[in-house]
A and B are shown apart, each in its own frame.
Chain A
Amino acid sequence: MKRNILVLAVAALAALMVNIKAQDISFERLSAGVAEIRADSSNIADPTPAAAEIYAKAPTAQREWLILIFIDGVNNLGIAGYADKNINAMEKVGSTDQVAVVTEFGILGTDASSNNIKFQRGSKTILIKKDNLPDTVTSPVIYPSNDTDMGSAAHFVRFAQRNIRQFPAKKVAIILWNHGGGRAGIAWDDVSGNHMEVDQLGQAMSQIQRALGHKVDIFATDACLMQMAEVTYELKDSVSVIVGSEEVIPGDGYPYDKILEPLVADPGISDEALGKIIVDAYGAHYRADRTATLSALRTSALPEFLNLLNEWEQAIAADAEAFKTASAESTVNSIYDFPHGSKNRHDSKDLYDYLSNLGRSLPDGTAAATAGLALQKHIANDLIIRKTAMVPKAHGLAIYIPNLQYDSANYEKFAFVADSLWDEFIKLMMEERLK
């Protein structure tokens, strides 16, 4: 028995030596470029992750900016080719040693010849590299994931946290790309059936902020209808500058090349400066569109915004005539609403425009009129850093004003509702409607 053990042990030790030698052979990483991702491509990315991923070398000295874009194209936006169009725009500029641009995407697509639907299984994270191919995405995959749910807030958090660790930077901008629904949420995934509620988005940004150790410098939504008081307030403690649109955003979305070019040229710019660049580039790109809006706001001004809003509400509530005018259907129906232009009145309306319409009906010098002016001044001068000019009645921030029913199931979840008197004001308004 002892001899058997000895023989076997020697054999095992020999095997051990072989294994140790095997481990000395350097592991060859696969660098899988992303297949063409066109709306018409039959090369929808391989569903199974590559056997190895590219991980960046150990983090280098901090770069100036990390730009993270989470693209949920698992819906008609992906099918229509907008995701690949935007990624190609990013590739016109690419990343530098001072600005890392990282995108995770999951999309639906179609086959060019047959228009058959194609499902991408799993999502891919790519580090955007400059190329001269305007119709082909060539950036390398740095992380393929089997997680297919692009409507998941948890997935979004993992994307951000993973890349914040991987690409440390002094400043971080996060762009969430997809359909937006204002207070209804963002990032609808047609396969998982999931999307992110606004409170989930708030919690997600809070987790990301904790991982980062400071506020996220910019959070932008390349998605419709998101620039609402309720949405931005949810993010105020975790983000410094919020960029978003009160209105629907055209399918082409942000002009990413026009945003990245000035950033790469001058990477030391501040969060507010980049916020202005995004808004200006968008405004230039859509200057002929009479409905397009985009604004950047500073969250540090939101607490004072809330105070002034509450003061205005209290002044209105204390003045019976002012309240009557403020809550009249004719007043409310005259406010510029979003999305604009359909026959139905929508309940997301420009707050500044509301104050203007109301202010015209209030006697000068009354508490209600004065409070309204103070609030408008704060919105224009302190809260909104920059806004586009195509829609004069859109001043950068929308707010919920229902037409008849108060949506408590959705609205009562917002931190804005807990902290402000706005819900009381609109409920009083809705009570009037029932008389």
Chain B
Amino acid sequence: MFSPSSAGKSTMAAIMAGLLLCGILAPDLSRADTVTDSPVPGLQNSLPTSEETGFLPTKQDSRLTAYEAAISSGDPVAANNFLKDTDLINALAVTDPQKEASLKATAEALKDLKELLAMNWDDAKTNSLNKALTIRMDAVSPLSKVGVGPEPEKLLSWLAKYQPQYPKDKTEILKKAIRKWEVVFGTTTDTISVQWNPTVNVTKTEWRTLTLKERNAVITKIIDNELRTSDPDPKLLGYDDAKLAEVKKQISLAKAVEKTMNSGALTPEQLAKLSGKSLSDKVYLLGNFFDGSNISVSPELKAQISAARSSRPKEVLPSQQREILGTMLNTAVSKELAGTQAGKKVLAFYSKEAKLDIAVRPCDGTYSRYDSASGKILLDSETIQQYMRMKGYTADSLMKSKEQVAEIAKYMAPAVAYESAHQMQDIWGKKQGIYNPRAQESEIEAMSLEGIYTAEKIRKDPASKEIFATSRDFSSYASKNIAVSTKYEKSGSKAFATAVRQLYCPGLPSLSATAAQTLDAVTGELNRRAALTDVERASIDSTSRNMTEAMEMSSAELSGSVGEIQTSVLAKIQRDLSSLDAYKNRYGAADKEGRKALKSLETGMAPKSGAPPAL
């Protein structure tokens, strides 16, 4: 679409005209329907096409003008109509590909915003809505360019103008999600002081100019300061779900520790050891006291403390043992996956497209990760160690026990199913040779596979059921797995997809949003470079990132650093993202497969075809 040697619409048109004159390029008569825009009946096939002339037919041109005006003012209906106007889009792709890409980017962003706001948002999901809006309404974004941001209140104006029927209660949720001053700080103050070491002021006037990311940073700082006090403000904590959950967990843990210390079950020596210690140290020491002892506190209390504490030295898996465990899990997890529909899909993938290569490592707070560079599925050693603590296993006992390894395999198999989907997506993108950013749709596919696997496994395998049932109250990993599988089973794929978007990854953009953001940034940069000389472009390209480097970048990274990516690479990414059909087809096929599997799970019948979808 972008030719580094072109300099805009008139040049391209002229080239096309010249090629026509030379007979090199024949007019595309298959596009005869484009000339139905002719205002003169009977002359439908006699007017030249846009390819022939290099210009849009008059009616298309006037439609384009109308679309441009509407989309640039933020009209989501016009945006949606434009995206459906394939005739115009195809014609524009020839006459002015940069404009086509730019309009598409903005139109996708507006359409995506409308769809986002149409979801069912309630008070419990306010912070999720905040995350979703934060990534869409940043300082440099397609929405901000058409006046929907970056100042968050502009969203309310946009809503009033283009969706005046938007429900009032949802509008109130929205005001909270955009952190409106009056909602966060009340109506009686126009200035707050924030201890940022040094102290800074934030005024109501200034607040209005801040992006959502900046507002969130201020609120986070206030929350962190509050958490250092003995009595943090609960209202402010409500603006951060993760911190609120952590505070609740710590409060519950403190109560459990107090209950244990007051139970009379501990010796004076043990109580003395606990005295003056931090909560974390107390929990850790209690776990040690419980080991091999008859301390009579409830099993639930013991399990809560065991799950919450850090691992004692003998419970830590050292690097050599982690390596061995990873190898053992390749076999053990494969065994678990077999006999389930989702598992069959995963195993078929690993028999044809890749090798299942599990490694056990600390994963920085996540349960698992797929590492594209090495092709490994990383399982979090801390999650495994937590399970070991709950069961009373040590590193040594695990290495010596096939049964314990088999349990770990059952426990972590859902994570392998989940990450295998990411690996499938990665390999698909590489095979297609396209830029393949991570988006919510990636997570929907991965979590669906995880959900259907877990649902089927729990039904079929009493041991797996037992493992998750006894862990769910103390392990966020187990709890999440149960929640995902239940949600998928009971809601069906469409509602599940919405749940993923709203609850599990609101801070990840949708495919439309990520395409819009990246396409907008890339197109803007290509337009800028089009005005440079060849020498200037060559100078930029000589120091810029190449295809391999760019393909590894997330959409946020790429959008923020288009100035240091080679021109030809930008053009390729523009082409990739200008049509989302390839991505949608891929995710659609996966969704269809999942629905089939779910249906057969419900009916108790295996689907007719056991073959995995074509990748």
Contacts and interface: CB of A to CB of B under 8 A. Distances in A.
Interface in B124-175: 139-140
A145 B544 CA distance: 14
Which among A26, A116, A122, A145 has the greatest number of chain B C-beta atoms within 10 A?
A: A116
Contacts of B13: 12, 15
Nearest to B193: A115
A147 B561 contact: yes
B311 A19 contact: no
A404 B288 CA distance: 12
A55 B539 contact: yes
A410 B385 CA distance: 14
Interface in A139-190: 143-149, 152, 154-155, 158, 161-162, 165-166, 190
Which among B213, B284, B362, B532 has the greatest number of chain A C-beta atoms within 10 A?
A: B362
Contact of B15 (A16, A76, A165, A431): A16
A115 B362 contact: no
A190 B381 contact: no
Nearest to A77: B197
B63 interface: no
Interface in B442-484: none
Nearest to B199: A115
Contacts, number: 203
Interface string A49-62: 10111010110000
A19 B564 CA distance: 26
A108 B210 CA distance: 13
A434 B287 CA distance: 10
A306 to B, nearest CB: 14
A5 interface: yes
A8 B200 contact: no
A9 to B, nearest CB: 4
Contacts of A166: 543
A121 B213 CA distance: 11
Nearest to B291: A434
Interface residues of B, number: 79
Given A27-B532, A427-B316, A158 B561 contact: yes
Interface stretch (B3-11, B420-428, B585-593): B3-11
A373 interface: no
Which among B15, B20, B313, B318 has the greatest number of chain A C-beta atoms within 10 A?
A: B313
Nearest to A15: B10
A22 B13 CA distance: 16
- DSSP majority for the A interface? mixed
A413 B553 CA distance: 23
B560 to A, nearest CB: 3
B54 interface: yes
A92 to B, nearest CB: 25
B545 A121 contact: no
Contacts of B316: 406, 408, 412, 427
Interface in B180-210: 194, 196-203, 206, 210
Nearest to B562: A146
B540 interface: yes
A63 to B, nearest CB: 16
Contacts of A190: 196, 217, 220-221
Contacts of A116: 200-203, 206
A406 B194 contact: no
A191 interface: yes
A23 interface: yes
Nearest to A119: B214
Interface string A386-430: 000000000000000000111111101100011000011001101
Interface string B309-347: 011111011110010000000000000000000000000
Given A5-B21, A406-B312, A434-B288, 14 more contacts: A8-B54, A9-B17, A15-B11, A16-B10, A16-B15, A19-B7, A22-B7, A116-B202, A117-B196, A117-B201, A117-B206, A122-B560, A162-B564, A406-B313
Interface of A: 1, 4-6, 8-9, 12-13, 15-16, 18-19, 22-23, 26-27, 47-49, 51-53, 55, 57-58, 76, 79-80, 108, 110, 114-117, 119, 121-122, 143-149, 152, 154-155, 158, 161-162, 165-166, 190-193, 197, 404-410, 412-413, 417-418, 423-424, 427-428, 430-431, 434
Q: Top 9 A-B pairs ranked by shortest CB distance?
A: A147-B560, A427-B313, A16-B14, A12-B14, A15-B10, A9-B17, A165-B543, A12-B17, A117-B200
